[in-house]
Structures are given as structure tokens and as C-alpha cells.
Amino acid sequence: MRRDIGMILAGLGMFLIVIAVVLPTYIAGQVIKFPLNYYYKAILNSPNTTYFSATKVKEVTGAPVQAIYTLKGDPSKGNSSTAVWNLFTYIYDTSIAPGPAQEIQIQNRTFAFDRKTGELQNCCGHMLDNKVYNESGVVGYVFPMGTKQQTYQVYDTTLLRPVPFTYAGTDTVDGVLTYKFNENVAPTKIGFSPLSATEPEFYAINLTYWVDPDTGALLKVDEHQQQFLENAITSQRTTTLFDGTFTPTAASVAAIVAIDNSGRLKITLLETIIPIVAGVLGAVLLVWGVLLARKRRRDFTASGFDAMTRELSAAPPPDDDPSASQVSGGKHAVRSADSGGRAGVVPGLDGNRTAAERGVEGENPEAAGGPGPAAR
């Protein structure tokens, strides 16, 4: 029974050791992915903004502007390798009463991306303001899991193409180590606005992202964006469409850090804590099981030797007279024959007996334990 328990413990220990090796090297990579079902709302403020009001048909300066970004996953469109998220962007002037007058920009976007690398995928109903574009590069709202200190190509929804985000060092956001990435786009012509068919529209942006390198989550943003019209002949700025610097509220940063910490905990559990615990416990059970199995075998061997010793101790001593043993034919015949054989071969073994003793045995067979005359 003890040996069976030992074998079971040893087998369980081997299983846990295998789990400790496979979990961080393979299983974690299959489990740790960007979620299909996701929800997050970020609020960014630009306290001193200039923008062109379509309702007032003029520039508004020094306005307090707020941008609300609402991200929501669509599990019905995603799968094991691709996630589909919807982004609703609402930018408005907080100093104006709710209504069309306060709206500055509204945008709807659906994007699909790889659940580990964050690379955009042209599938699953992706669109930008009800138009389909060929998107490529990193989505930007998430970076690859295991983000590296390198330049990434991130898709810009205004330029409709990927642009370089350059690694700019490390920083901490609410205690989380992050990598900083900068996007710097010099004024670039993007076409013409409804305001003028002769003055081209230009776009420029300076954007800094703080990214958790372990999870790929975007934790913080600092954005200075400009859009303006320019005289085609003089290259002078004629109309400012938008000029503002957005930073997230403390509550928005705290909320995304809390979501990120949950993801970091999952990674730590699957890649570090559980493998260590499983490996140590597996090694203990393996050694314990082997010791139990070996101890059972030693106990069995020792008990076997004890039984043989007791049997030999209880047996009567062998008879030294070969002739009497041969005549008796009893149960000690074999032992007597062996003794007689040794006496004839080993010098001095038979010589230890006196002539008188040999004579007496010859004259009186009964003294040697043989049968008397009546038996013959």
C-alpha cells in the first residue's frame, strides 16, 4: 500500500514539474491576449483651445475643451486571434450648453487587430466614419505585448497611414514602469476643408504615449494637435481650425492603471508565481514518493531476511554420523550426508573424534539415532 502511494505521489510530482515548465513557455502565450470584451472611457482636457465654430462661423479662442474617448469591444466579431473594438470620440466646448453649438468633432471608428501584436487587420467590419480604408501598423490604443525599446509604426487616422512612434525613454505612471513613445508630424497637407476650395488644410501633431511594456496597454497621453488653412501663394496661416493640448484626467489614468494591473497580475501568475509553486511542490512530491516506494522495498527485504534467520535458528543441528544418517532415511538424511562428505574431504574434521567414540557408534547403532535390531 505504501509503495502504491509513493508511486502516485511521484507521478503527481512529475506532472506538476511539467506544468511548471510548459505554463510560462507555451500555455501563457495562448492565454494572455488582448480581451474581446473590453470597456474603457478616457477623458482628456484642453483648457486653452482655439477652434473654428461652425455655428458661429468664426474662430473661438481660449475655450475649455474636453475630449471623451469610449472604447468598447465587440466579442461577436472577434475570434481567438483577432479582437474588434469600437471607438467613439466626442470633442466639445465645455463652456457652452449641451447641443450642436458645443460640438467640435464627433468620430466613429471600428478597428480589428491582432490580440498579441496589436497589428491592425483589415477585416471584421473595420471602418472610419462609415468609410473603409486599408489600415496597417500598430493600432496605437494598444501596443504589442512585450513592447520593446524601438520605433513602431502606428496608424494615424488623420493622415490615413502609419507614422513612426520613436522610443523616448522610461517613466512611471501611478507606480507602473512605462516606455515613452513620441509622434512628431510636421505640418502636412491633408487636402481641402469645406471652408475653402483654394486654401489647403494642414495637420500637425506632437503626441507622447506612455505604454506598459509588459501588457502593451496605453496608460497616458499628452497630445498637441493643430489643423489650419494656409494661403496657397504666401504659405501664411489664414484660419485656425483647431489648436489644443490634451492631457488625461487623474481619474482616467487611475482607471486604466487599475485595468492594467489586473492584466499584469494575470501575466505574473501564469508566467512566474504558478510555475514556481508548481515546480517546488512537484519536486517535493516526487522525492517523497520515491522515498516511500524505496522504503517499502527495504522493509520487505529486511522482513524476508528475518524470517529466514528465524527458520535456520529453529532447525535442529545436523548429524555428524554419515552411516547413521544413511540408515535412518529420516528428514535429516541430506544434512548428515553433507556432514559426512565434509568430514571425508576436510582434513582433521573426522580426526577430532576419538577412537573410543567411533567404536561405540559401531557397536551401538541406537546411540547414533538409528533403528534397533527389531527394526531390521
The 3 state secondary structure assigned to the chain is: CHHHHHHHHHHHHHHHHHHHHHHHHHHHHHHCCCCCCCEEEEEEEEEEEEEEECCCCEEEEEEEEEEEEEEEECCCCCCCCEEEEEEEEEEEECCCCCCHHHEEEEEEEEEEEECCCCEEECCCCCEECCECCCCCCECCCECCCCCCCCCEEEEECCCCEEEEEEEEEEEEECCEEEEEEEEEEEEEEEEECCCCCCCEEEEEEEEEEEECCCCCEEEEEEEEEEEEEECCCCCCEEEEEEEEEEEECHHHHHHHHHHHHHHHHHHHHHHHHHHHHHHHHHHHHHHHHHHHHHHHHHHHHHHHHHHHHHHHHHCCCCCCCHHHHHHHCCCCHHHHHHHHHHHHHCCCCCCCCCHHHHHHHHHCHHHHCCCCCCCC
Minimum mean pLDDT range among 91-100, 146-155, 199-208: 91-100
Residue 20 lies in a domain: no
Residue 129 lies in a domain: yes
Mean pLDDT, rounded, for 297-315: 55
Residue 42 lies in a domain: yes
Q: Which is more confident, 123 or 335?
A: 123
Residue 4 lies in a domain: no
Please report the pLDDT score of residue 336 as a whole number.
41
pLDDT confidence band for 341 (50 / 70 / 90):
very low
Q: Is the pLDDT of residue 240 over 70?
A: yes
Q: Which is more confident, 220 or 296?
A: 220
Mean pLDDT across the chain, nearest whole number? 82
Residue 170 lies in a domain: yes
Residue 220 lies in a domain: yes
Residue 125 lies in a domain: yes
Give the total number of structural domains in the chain: 1
Q: Which is more confident, 298 or 100?
A: 100
Residue 166 lies in a domain: yes
Domain residues for the domain of 209 are: 32-248
Please report the pLDDT score of residue 173 as a whole number.
97
